[in-house]
Structure 1
C-alpha cells in the first residue's frame, strides 16, 4: 500500500485521482484551500477506501511554501512516509485573450500553477531524499505541448513552463531514489471547466462540435491515469490520456454529445 498526497484534490481530476487510489487500497491526503472543502471531500471519499486505506485531509495554500512543508510534515506524521506526491493544484481562466486577462487572473494562474508546483516539488524532493525514495508527478494541461489555443495564452504559458521545469527536475534527481514524471489528463469537464463555460457560453457554443469529440469525463480518465502512475518504474515517465492515437480514434468514432450530462 502506498501513501499518496494530491494537491488540489477536493474536486476535479485531483478528486478523481484520490478516489481511484483509495479504491485500490492506497491512503490519500486530500488538499484544498479551505478546511470546509477538505472536510467535505474527505467525508465523500472515505467510503471508497479499501484494504485499510485512509482518506485524510489538510487545508493548504500551495503558493505558501511553509504551508506546503506543513502538508508534507502532516502526511508523514499521520502515515509514516509519503510514497507518491502529485502536484495537481491549478487555476485556469481561459475565456479571454491575453490582453484582456485581468491582473487578478494572471496572478492566480501564475502563482498557483507555477509556484504551487515548484514549491510542492521542492518540498517533496527534499523529503523523499531524506526518506530514501519516492515518486513525484506534476499534472500538466492545455498548452504544455506547445500548441496554441484560443484564449489560453497565460494559462498555457504556465503549463508549458512546467513541462520544462519537470524535465529539469528529472535530470537533477537522476541517480537518486526520487523519480519524477508528468501527467497530461487531456480535456476534462470539471467544476472549473463548467464555471468557465458559464462565463462564456458563446465560446462553448462555437466550439461545441470539437468539444464533444475531445472532451472526457473525470470518472472515465482517472482510473487510467492512476493505473499508469502506480505502474511507473522509471523517472521521466510521461503519462498522457489524449494521445495522438486516442485523438484519432475519437475523430473516427460515432459522435456523442458529452456536454448534455452537464445541462449544456
Structure 2
C-alpha cells in the first residue's frame, strides 16, 4: 500500500496523516476546500521530507462532482488509490443547539456526514473497479452514543457515521475493499484552539485541566493512528487510539507536567 488520499488534509489531523504517510514512503493527495490552502499544504509537506509525491486537489467534500474529481485526479496522478481516508469534518462543540448559527449546523452535517458518505461511495466504487483498496472513516466524539454538553449536532453526525460505516461494511463484505473506522481521541487542532477562544479565558480555564489529561498534539496522535491503519486491520475493524486503560492511567496521573496548549495562544 503506497498511495493515499486524505480528505481535509490541508491542516490538523489530516495534514498530520499526510505527513506521516509520506514519511513512510507513500505518495499522497492532500485536499481541502481552498485552492490556496491545499497548495500551501503540499508545499509544507514537500519541505518536510523529500520522499513521496504530493498532489494538491481542492475539494468540497459535500459536492459529489468535486469528490469524484478527487478520485479521478488521484487515480491519474498516482496510478491507483491504495488508501482513502475520510477525515474532513467540522466541529462546533461549545454551544447548545439554540445558540448554534444555522450555517454552522449545515456545515457540520454536510462536511461530517454527507462528505464522508460521498467519499466512501466514490472510494468503494473506484477500489472495486481496480480490485483492491482500504477505506478508513475517521469518527469522533459521539460515535459511541454518549451524549456530551455542547456536542448535540456534532455528536449526532459522528453517531450517524458509526451507523453508516457499520452498514457499509456489511454491504461490501466479501469484496476487494477493506473498511475500518478510527476513533482518534482528543487532538489539539486549529478547531480546538478556535473553540478555546470562543469559550474565553474563564470558560476555557474550567476545562483546561481535563483537556491536558485527554488531549494530545497532532504530532503525538498521528503516528499510532497510522500504525493501526497500516497493520492491515480486518474488514469492519473499529480502531481506537486511546483505550479505556490508558485513559484511566491518564486521569490517575492528573495530567501532571503536561501542557498540550503550550505555544497555542490559549
What is the aligned-residue RMSD (CA, Å)? Answer: 1.2
CA contact (8 A) 2:136 2:179 kept: yes
CA contact (8 A) 2:180 2:233 kept: no
Structure 1 residue runs of 4 or more that deviate by more than 6 Å after TM superposition: none
1:87-126 maps to which residues of 2 (within 5 A)?
87-126=86-125
Please report how far the alpha carbon of residue 55 of structure 1 lies from its aligned counterpart in structure 2 after TM superposition: 1.3
Describe the shift of the 1:233–1:189 C-alpha distance in structure 2 as closer, same or farther (beyond 3 A): closer
* Structure 2: distance between partners of 1:258 and 1:122: 36
Please report how far the alpha carbon of residue 59 of structure 1 lies from its aligned counterpart in structure 2 after TM superposition: 0.2
Aligned to 1:239: 239
- Would you say 1:45 and 2:45 are equivalent positions? yes
- Would you say 1:80 and 2:82 are equivalent positions? no
* Structure 1: distance between partners of 2:62 and 2:185: 24
Please report how far the alpha carbon of residue 203 of structure 1 lies from its aligned counterpart in structure 2 after TM superposition: 3.0
SS for the counterpart of 2:76 is helix
- Would you say 1:141 and 2:140 are equivalent positions? yes
SS for the counterpart of 1:56 is strand
* Structure 2: distance between partners of 1:160 and 1:186: 15
* Structure 1: distance between partners of 2:107 and 2:192: 16
Aligned to 2:264: 262
Q: Give the TM-score taking structure 1 as reference length.
A: 0.96
* Structure 2: distance between partners of 1:217 and 1:121: 27
Aligned to 2:30: 30
CA contact (8 A) 1:32 1:61 kept: yes
Mind listing any 5+ residue stretches in structure 2 that lack a counterpart? none
Please report how far the alpha carbon of residue 158 of structure 1 lies from its aligned counterpart in structure 2 after TM superposition: 0.2
1:196-215 maps to which residues of 2 (within 5 A)?
196-201=195-200, 202-215=202-215
Mind listing any 5+ residue stretches in structure 1 that lack a counterpart? none
Q: Give the TM-score taking structure 2 as reference length.
A: 0.96
- Would you say 1:230 and 2:225 are equivalent positions? no
* Structure 1: distance between partners of 2:62 and 2:188: 25
* Structure 2: distance between partners of 1:260 and 1:221: 16
Q: Kindly provide the CA deviation profile for residues 72-116 of structure 1, in whole angstroms up to 9, marking residues without a partner as x.
A: 000010010000000000011112101221211110000110000
CA contact (8 A) 1:25 1:49 kept: no
Aligned to 1:193: 192
How many residue pairs are counted as aligned between the two chains? 263
* Structure 2: distance between partners of 1:217 and 1:23: 18
Between 1:12-21 and 1:39-48, the stretch displaced more is 39-48
